[in-house]
Amino acid sequence: MSTAIDGGVRAAFRAIADVLIPAAEGMPAASEVDVHGPVLDRIIGLRPDLAERFFRGIGAIAGLPPETAAVQLNAADPQALAAIGLVASAAYYMQPRVRELIGYPGQEKRPGNPDETPEYVANGMLQQVLDRGPIFKPTPKA
Amino acid sequence: MSGANRSPGVADVLIIGAGASGSVAVAKLAEAGFSVVCLEQGGHVDNGEFYGDKPEWELMAQKRWHPNPNVRDLENDYPCETSDSDVNPLMYNAVGGSTILYAAHWQRFMPSDFRVRTLDGVADDWPFTYEDLEPFYDEMDIEMGVSGLGGDPAYPPGKAPPLPPLPIGKIGMKAAEGMNKLGWHWWPGPNAAPSRPYRGRNQCVRRGTCLTGCPERAKASMDHTHWPDALKHGAKLITGARVREITVDGNGMATGAIYIDRSGRERRQMAQVVIVCANGVGTPRLLLMSKSARFPDGLANSSGLAGKNLMMHPYAAVSGSFDEPLESWLGPAGQTIQSMQWYETDASRGFVRGAKWQVMPSGGPLGMRAAYGGKPLDEAWGANLHRSTRKVFGRSFEWGIIAEDLPEETNQVVLDPSLTDSDGLAAPKIVYRNTENTHRMIEFHLARAKEAMAAAGAVSMSVTPLMRDCGWHLMGTARMGTDPQRSVVNEWGQAHDVPNLYIYDGSVFVTSSGFNPTGTICAIALRAVKHLIANRRNQRVAA
């Protein structure tokens, strides 16, 4: 089993990635954001634990039409398809264009202002909790 | 215990484990002038190693920074055999221990937690009360830099946390609105993450990546809160040191430990007092590995309870999605709000004890995909992937439920007969099954959490009745008590069988409560180490 990301692997991955993540619902297909490009190398480099299942899956679908490849791999080797799907979806959702389309800025910095009165205090929401009174059982007398 | 009488190379105190309890103990003992050596099997973690501020965050969260050591599979981890367990134990081995990856929910137990036998007729009472522990809770709040709001009616009146609460965000507000409609308790969650810069740490910027490490150097992990001062006061930290045995002399007194360094060499560290802080799995594992002619069943195990009564907190959740965007990737993660509405026992529910709830954010788009494993191809992928992402991502949050599990001797840590770590030491085997009381409790709480979600306006929900990777809280396996036949250590963590051996971690818990335990682990360690320091002249040591 080859573990090099050569042109054939890249092409096979691109094809099956487009079955898993097609152009639909206003979103681009996986290949439109180059999931088969340098980000593929980066992901396999960061997650070498995925390599064996990824390459096993890619090797198993050689020559098959992409839709058939996805269905057959899902039935015969779901772990391999899961690895391919994880690589594809990780690469996809890392792309700035995709993140912009789904409204995700990433795990952004957004510190609060500790000197600001919280909204739930200012609008009386928390006071309702206080008005309901204590809810704990005290330590029983010895 | 006296430094003047000890031999060269013999530390006053040896501490095994540089996590939550070990770090508190090291810092206080070093500050008090003791010579302290700490053995930690992991290494140092630099905040730059975390991926929370990088696009690859979710990808790496599933492997390198996963809380399950069996998934991470690093050399500094030991494997855990879990085929007979409903839940996987979670931990991190490094300077700072599991606080590297904890969510920093900084909770106190409630008064009833220390009197379960008296109030509910099950388990046992603790050898001290909430009021005994309260000053140490207060002190730890300050040491950790806890952000929160005083006055929570789920607790007796007391001191407020030292820092204002972190924002609860849109998800917290949405959840709180639902709770108020139902007339149920909620409160902004206390977090060990500073809402403003604090003692050399940065302000929490709400990245929401606490569970995979804080790249901001904001979260209160022990490598930042306690180790700088401990080292300044002369504590000696040896990393990559995997302890295989606590040694004893002919009188049954602890003399130190044998450990294996990362070159595979066996080394010995002698000490007058040994304190084990290796968590609720690592500590009983070490006791059971430390067999000798005098202690054939393992060290400090005349009760037979070393390793037994393991409690790991079954975790269930109800996730809800909403029509409007909620920015539900924003931290703290951490918790935004919590509820103890259903915490105390009500016998009419058909079970005893209860659970704490918390609202946590739901992370990024890739993590959501995890729920699709094993689903039909066209359901998990294709156009449905885009539809489900649009429907749920950024518009959902989770009511998480930490269910109190009661001590059962059949739930335990034993040594696996065949699985070993990278040094050939026996791995722990986890035997853990949820009881009928737990099943009933979870069923009840899930039903209430669905009501809370509906009241908040959720348009769809999904239920997780028991998360397998949820054993963050490792407790009970060297329980404290006054009776040496029914406990391993006394209220100060001192082993009944070995007067100069102490245990300070979550192993000593008598019951589990329904709360995240790190705040209580640290408060207990602080109380115990202060007692040890105050009574140093009465401490028996090996001749």
Cis peptide leading into B334, omega within 30 of 0?
yes
Look at residues B362, B363, B448, B457 and name the one whose alpha carbon lies nearest to residue B401: B448
The alpha carbon of residue A137 is apart from the nearest alpha carbon of chain B, in Å, by: 6
Q: Which residues pair with B520 in a beta bridge?
A: none
CA dist., res. B331 & res. B204, Å (int): 9
- Type of residue at B151: G
Residue tagged 């007398």 (tokens): A141
H runs (alpha helix) in B277-334:
279-289
Cβ A136–B156 below 8 Å, yes or no? Answer: yes
Closest residue in chain A to residue B202, using alpha carbons only: A111
Q: CB burial class (10 A; 0-12, 13-18, 19+) of residue B9?
A: exposed
Which amino acid makes up residue B225? T
Residue B4 pLDDT greater than 60, yes or no: no
Of B63, B118, B153, the CB nearest to A130: B153
pLDDT over 70 for what percent of chain A? 99
Whether the pTM exceeds 0.95: the reply is yes
pLDDT tens profile B221-279 = 999 999 999 999 999 999 999 999 999 999 999 999 999 999 999 999 999 999 999 99
Q: Which two tokens stand for residue B113?
A: 């937690």
pLDDT, tens digit (0-9, with 9 covering 90-100), for B188-218: 999 999 999 999 999 999 999 999 999 999 9
Strand partners, B342: none
Read off the DSSP letter of residue B407. P
Question: A91-117 pLDDT, tens per residue?
Answer: 999 999 999 999 999 999 999 999 999
Q: Are strands B10-16 and B187-188 parallel, antiparallel or unpaired?
A: unpaired
Count of alpha carbons within 13 Å of B232, Cβ hemisphere only? 8
CATH topology of domain B1-46+91-102+107-145+221-306+478-543: FAD/NAD(P)-binding domain (3.50.50)
| Residues of chain A with C-beta less than 8 angstroms from the C-beta of B207 | 107-109
H/E element holding B315?
A: strand B315-321
Percentages (nearest 5) of helix, strand, coil residues in chain A = 60, 0, 40
Q: Distances in Å between the alpha carbon of B2 and those of A71, B433, B442?
A: 72, 46, 51
Local structure of B520: helix, strand or coil: helix
Tens-place pLDDT, residues B270-311:
999 999 999 999 999 999 999 999 999 999 999 999 999 999
The H-or-E segment that residue B244 falls in is strand B242-248
pLDDT in tens, B315-365: 999 999 999 999 999 999 999 999 999 999 999 999 999 999 999 999 999
Instruction: Tell me which chain A residues have a C-beta less than 8 angstroms from the C-beta of B58.
Output: 90, 93
CB contact under 8 A, B187 and A129: yes
Pick from B167, B176, B179: CB nearest A112 = B167
B130 vs A contacts (CB less than 8 Å): 139
Is residue B24 very low, low, confident or very high in pLDDT (cuts 50, 70, 90)?
very high
B493/B513 Cα distance (integer angstroms): 19
Which residues are CB-contacts of B166 (< 8 A; sequence separation ≥ 6)? A112, B147, B188, B191, B193, B195, B204, B206, B331, B332, B334, B336
Query: Residue type for B265, please?
Result: R
Asked if the model's pLDDT at residue B171 lies above 60, the reply is yes
Cis geometry, peptide bond prior to residue B284 (ω within 30 degrees of 0): no
User: Above 90 in pLDDT, residue A3?
Assistant: no
ipTM: 0.96
Measure the CA–CA gap between B212 and B119, rounded to whole angstroms.
38
Give me the torsion for CA of B452, B368, B438, B21, rounded to 10°.
-110
C-alpha angle B525-B191-B79 in degrees, rounded to nearest 5? 60
Residue B543 has pLDDT above 90, yes or no: no
Strands B236-239 and B36-40: parallel
Q: Which of A19, A84, A107, A126 would you mutate first to test chain B, the one with the most B CBs within 10 A?
A: A107
Which tokens is B166 given? 């972190």
Buried b (16+ CB within 10 A) or exposed e, B70-98: bbbeeebbbebbbeebbbbbbbbbbbbbb
* Strand-strand pairing, B254-260 and B266-276: antiparallel
Contacts of B358 (CB under 8 A, 6+ apart): B105, B189, B335, B336, B337, B338, B339, B399, B400, B402
Domain ranges of chain A: 7-102
How far, in Å, CA of B364 to CA of B328, rounded?
A: 8
pLDDT of amino acid B295: 98
Token pair listed for A126: 């928390």
Whole-angstrom distance, CA of residue B268 vs CA of residue B250: 17
First to last CA, chain B: 11
Strand-pair partners of B269:
B257
User: What three-state secondary structure class fits B542?
Assistant: coil
DSSP class of residue B167 equals P
Q: Give contacts of A107 with chain B, Cβ < 8 Å.
A: 52-53, 57, 207-209, 329, 331, 364
Distance, CA of B533 to CA of B220 (rounded, Å): 25
Q: What is the DSSP letter of B256?
A: E
Distance from CA of B136 to the nearest CA of A (A): 17
Q: What is the mean pLDDT of chain B?
A: 96
Question: What pLDDT is stored for residue B378 in this prediction?
Answer: 87
| C-alpha distances out from residue B115 to B125, B235, B507, Å | 5, 37, 18
Q: Strands B501-503 and B266-276, how do they pair?
A: parallel
- Of the candidates B55, B33, B536, B325, the one whose C-alpha atom is nearest the C-alpha of residue A92 is B55
The neighbouring-strand residues paired with B311 are B475
- Tens digits of per-residue pLDDT, B27-76? 999 999 999 999 999 999 999 999 999 999 999 999 999 999 999 999 99
Domain boundaries, chain B: 1-46+91-102+107-145+221-306+478-543
Count the alpha carbons within 13 Å of A109 in the hemisphere toward its beta carbon: 11
